[in-house]
Structure 1
Amino acid sequence: MKEQRRARAIAMTPDEVDAFLAEQRTCRVATNGTNGPHATPLWYAWDGSALWLTSLSRSQRWTDLARDPRIAVVVDAGEQYDELRGVELRGRVEVVGEVPRTGEPDDELTAPEQLFADRYTGGQVFHDGKHAWLRLRPDKITSWDFRKIGAARPS
């Protein structure tokens, strides 16, 4: 994975990134469409090494990613300037499991589906025959935590 070069003084540590991604609930996914970038919000699950996205398999996002699997995902939080923090993950997604997902046994999806269900559906895994799974193992993670700005300034 590429190392973050800019704004290292306010970058999150790997443990802070993991905690932040576990705490937030919505990400913004940017794909490369034929008419330019396409950005949409999604729910996600982070397992410590991969970001798992469930997407409608008949969507513009899915069409874009089938043509070009490169993706950028942003998770951010904060209202005031000195509260802003976030993580951007970049890389290529891969389809995991059946498309659309109807619930055929798949050992590779057992953990992420449960992680996702624990976050959003009270622990119950649902398969609606409309969504399918995408896994992003990021090539690059960039993070920022503006709460560190005061600490980053020399005394």
Structure 2
Amino acid sequence: MSIRLSEDEIWEFVSAAHTGVLTTLRADGAPVSLPTWFVVVDRTVCLSTPSGARKLGRVRRDPRAAFLVESGRAWAELRAVHLSGRVGPVEDDATRDRVRSLLDEKYAAFRVSPQRLPAAARSAYTDRAVLRLVPDERVLSWDNSRIRLSGG
């Protein structure tokens, strides 16, 4: 049996993950990997970011990106999905609203009330852009629990 996940298993796993790691590229090509909250919409990864975030500038300059979700603590429990593709701002109002609503629903129990944030942070997080990563066909996935270990 392969340790790779099927396409349906990949999207189930990604959808259920709490936090993913988005990697974008600086102008000099150096990668920047940052954790982010996200939702899956039509087998793409959608997230929001402050409109003034450097991440947005990197994405506009070079849309190549990667996204990783993982789980497991012991080696035999490790599962992961690594997507490569292109990421860009969502310009369609209806899609932006849908993504924001899905993010609000998924993370409602984990957010901090805006009133508790310092004014600068509250301001930065008020105006948010929505990004969508459209993966290419090169999906890496594995589930080490599928490996049959010998006793001892």
* Residues 34 and 109 (structure 1), Cα distance of their counterparts in 2 relative to 1, 3 Å cut: closer
Q: Is the 8 A contact 1:18 1:48 kept in 2?
A: no
1:139 aligned partner, one-letter code: D
Q: What's the offset of the Cα at 1:96?
A: 0.9
2:27 aligned partner, one-letter code: T
- Aligned ranges 1:3-152 → 2 under 5 Å: 9-35=2-28, 36-97=30-91, 106-121=93-108, 128-140=125-137, 141-150=139-148
Instruction: Tell me how large the CA RMSD over aligned residues is.
Output: 2.5
Q: Is the 8 A contact 1:22 1:46 kept in 2?
A: yes
Q: Secondary structure at the match of 1:150?
A: coil
Q: How many angstroms apart in 2 are the aligned matches of 1:63 and 1:110?
A: 22
Percent identity, please.
30
Q: How many angstroms apart in 2 are the aligned matches of 1:11 and 1:42?
A: 24
Equivalent residue pairs, number:
135
Can you give the 5+ residue segments of structure 1 that lack an aligned partner in the other structure?
1-7, 99-105
Structure 1 residues 14-38: Cα deviation after superposition (integer angstroms, max 9, x where no partner)? 2211221122110111111135111
Question: Which runs of at least 4 in structure 1 moved beyond 4 Å after TM superposition?
Answer: none
TM-score by length of 1: 0.77
Structure with bigger helix share is 2
Q: Secondary structure at the match of 2:34?
A: strand
Q: What's the offset of the Cα at 1:148?
A: 1.0
Q: Is the 8 A contact 2:27 2:61 kept in 1?
A: no
TM-score by length of 2: 0.78
Q: Secondary structure at the match of 1:22?
A: helix
Q: Is the 8 A contact 2:46 2:99 kept in 1?
A: yes
Structure 1 residues 49-96: Cα deviation after superposition (integer angstroms, max 9, x where no partner)? 111011122222112111101100101111000000011111111211
Q: Is the 8 A contact 1:97 1:132 kept in 2?
A: no
Can you give the 5+ residue segments of structure 2 that lack an aligned partner in the other structure?
115-124
Q: Secondary structure at the match of 1:89?
A: strand
Q: Is the 8 A contact 2:90 2:96 kept in 1?
A: yes
Q: Is the 8 A contact 1:29 1:74 kept in 2?
A: yes
Q: How many angstroms apart in 2 are the aligned matches of 1:130 and 1:107?
A: 17
